[in-house]
Structure formats: structure tokens, C-alpha cells
């Protein structure tokens, strides 16, 4: 399997030292540095402590990372490599400190390579895996007490005019069916999750008989349904995009 090539990041021009800064205090080496990127200059500090065997550095202004379109971790990795590479070349650094910096860089690079290998080896996650969604919701919201099967329903090829059911719960067979239109990429995963969660609530909060009638979505049911952390966002999306879901899903989603 081919590896994943990391994006090359240019952290900017790094200059060690600023007027008035100090470089050595006993076993601790400290030095300010400047990083110039896109016409802006940012200040930071690097320290090498041979007593505690620690190498540390930081950029004081977090706005520096906002200049990059990639992940902050990628910028930090690139900046660290270039910055510490310069530090290791300083003449007034003690040999023990120089060794400490070089070993620190080697360890960080080895960890980065290992992380890349692990990333390649991890199989892709199917965000719309119904069983995985069911298991996660069951554990988080129902303490694993909901016992039911979950599966995709049949893809209806005729468009709906007014509405359609996102899902259903068969209490006799303890079976949850989810409409395959929710497989479509434009549907947020939280909408799919809320649908599964809603059907699970039918078992956790069964119908109650009031005034001679059975109520499915009674007060306790609705209260439980709103415990889903993305309830409001999912409902807002449904209200805004329900018309788009009236059309049949592509054949391959059946």
C-alpha cells in the first residue's frame, strides 16, 4: 500500500536571537527567535535544559498558525525541524545540549513516521455504518439497554410529493429500518444519527395510553429525543432541505 505524502510547509524565515535576549543561564539555554511569514513577524522562545533533559519551544502569538491552510500540527512539525536544526548548529551550545537537541529531533521524526504508517494501516471508517452508529448511540445515551436490529430499508424509486418516513421501528420484531435516502452524501451524518436515535427512543420510551388513545411521541419521548447532542442542528437541516429528500436516491444506494 502506498504511503501518504505529507504536505510540505514553509514555516517562514527564522532568525535566532533578538536585541537584549540572553542565551545561557547555567545548565539552561534559552533564546528568543523571530519568525517572519507573509510580511508579518512573530516572536517565540526555545529552551534546552540539560538538567531535566527537556527541549521546549513556543510561538507566543497563536495567530501565526492562522496564516496556514493546513493543520497546526503540520506547521509545528516543520517549524520545529527548522528551528531546532539551527539551534543545534550554535557554537556556544554545550555538547550535552547539542546532543539533547539532536536526539529530540530524531525521536520526533521517528514518531511522525510511525504515525504516518499507522494512518496508512487504519482502514477507512464508514460514517454511515448503521450498526456502528447504533452501538455508539446505545452506549452513550441508553447504557446499552436498547435491543434491536438495524438495517437499511428498500429504496423507493418513486418520488414523494409531501413527506416520507426517515425511519421506522417494528416493536414486535425489534427491528429498525432506515430509509436509504439518508445514505446520500449531501445528508449530514448527524441527521442519520438522529433518525437512528429517534427509532431507538421508541423502544426506550414506549407508547403510553392517555385519554383512551395510544401516544407514540409523548412528553417523555420528546424529552429523551432532545437529549441527542446535535438535535437542534439536525432538525434545522431537515426543515431546510426536506424537499431535496423527496426525490429517489441513486440506484447504487439501494
Q: Are residues 243 and 171 in the same domain?
A: yes
Helices 95-121 and 72-87 cross at an angle (nearest 10°) of 150
* Pairing relationship of beta strands 149-152 and 175-178 according to DSSP bridges: parallel
Burial group, residue 102, by CB count within 10 angstroms (0-12, 13-18, 19+): middle
Whole-angstrom distance, CA of residue 15 vs CA of residue 248: 60
Which grid cell sits at 231?
A: 438535535
DSSP-derived letter for residue 59 is E
Cell numbers linked to 237: 437541516
100, 121, 142 - which closes a domain: 121
Q: CA-to-CA distance for 244 and 6, rounded, in angstroms?
A: 38
Q: Whole-angstrom Cα distance, residue 110 to residue 72?
A: 19
Q: Is residue 144 part of a domain?
A: yes
* Residue where one domain finishes, among candidates 75, 91, 121: 121
- Determine, yes or no, domain membership for 5: no
- The pLDDT assigned to 234 comes to 93
Range of the domain at 218: 130-253
Evaluate whether residue 3 is within a structural domain: no
Residues 137 and 159 in one domain: yes
Domain boundary among 65, 100, 121: 121
Of 176, 171, 157, nearest to 246 (Cα)? Answer: 157
Can you spell out the DSSP letters for 85-122?
HHHTT-TTS-HHHHHHHHHHHHHHHHHHHHHHHHHHHS
Q: Nearest to residue 43, comparing CAs of 66, 61, 68, 23?
A: 61
Same domain? For 96 and 166 the reply is no
**Number of structural domains, the chain?**
2
Q: What is the pTM of this model?
A: 0.51
Q: Which residues of the chain have pLDDT under 50?
A: 1-5, 122-123, 254
* Cα R_g (the chain), whole angstroms: 28
169 and 221 in one domain? Answer: yes
Residues 111 and 168 in one domain: no
Same domain, 101 and 47: yes
In 144-231, the DSSP E strands lie at 149-152, 167-170, 175-178, 208-210, 213-215
> Which residues sit opposite 7 in a β-bridge?
none
**Which three cell numbers, joined as nine digits, stand for 249?**
436516491
Do 124 and 75 form a contact (C-beta atoms < 8 A)?
A: no
Amino acid at each position: 500500500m502506498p504511503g501518504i505524502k505529507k504536505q510540505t510547509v514553509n514555516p517562514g524565515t527564522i532568525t535566532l536571537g533578538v536585541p537584549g535576549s540572553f542565551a545561557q543561564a547555567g545548565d539552561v539555554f534559552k533564546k528568543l527567535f523571530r519568525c517572519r511569514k507573509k510580511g508579518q513577524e512573530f516572536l517565540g522562545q526555545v529552551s534546552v535544559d540539560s538538567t531535566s533533559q527537556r527541549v521546549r519551544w513556543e510561538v507566543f502569538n497563536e495567530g501565526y498558525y492562522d496564516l496556514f491552510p493546513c493543520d497546526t500540527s503540520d506547521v509545528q512539525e516543520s517549524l520545529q525541524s527548522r528551528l531546532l536544526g539551527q539551534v543545534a548548529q550554535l557554537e556556544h551550545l554545550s555538547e550535552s545540549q547539542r546532543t539533547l537537541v539532536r536526539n529530540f529531533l530524531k525521536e520526533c521524526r521517528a514518531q511522525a513516521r510511525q504515525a504516518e504508517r499507522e494512518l496508512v494501516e487504519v482502514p477507512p471508517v464508514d460514517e454511515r455504518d448503521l450498526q456502528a452508529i447504533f452501538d455508539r448511540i446505545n452506549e452513550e445515551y441508553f447504557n446499552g439497554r436498547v435491543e434491536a436490529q438495524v438495517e437499511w430499508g428498500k429504496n423507493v424509486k418513486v418520488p414523494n410529493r409531501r413527506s416520507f418516513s426517515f425511519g421506522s421501528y417494528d416493536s414486535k420484531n425489534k427491528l429498525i429500518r432506515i430509509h436509504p435516502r439518508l445514505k446520500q452524501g449531501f445528508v449530514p451524518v448527524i441527521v442519520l444519527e438522529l433518525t437512528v436515535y429517534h427509532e431507538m427512543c421508541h423502544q426506550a420510551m414506549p407508547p403510553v395510553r392517555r385519554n383512551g388513545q395510544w401516544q407514540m411521541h409523548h412528553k417523555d419521548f420528546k424529552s429523551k429525543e432532545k437529549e441527542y447532542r446535535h438535535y437542534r442542528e439536525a432538525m434545522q437541516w431537515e426543515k431546510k432541505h426536506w424537499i431535496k429528500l423527496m426525490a429517489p436516491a441513486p440506484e447504487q444506494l439501494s
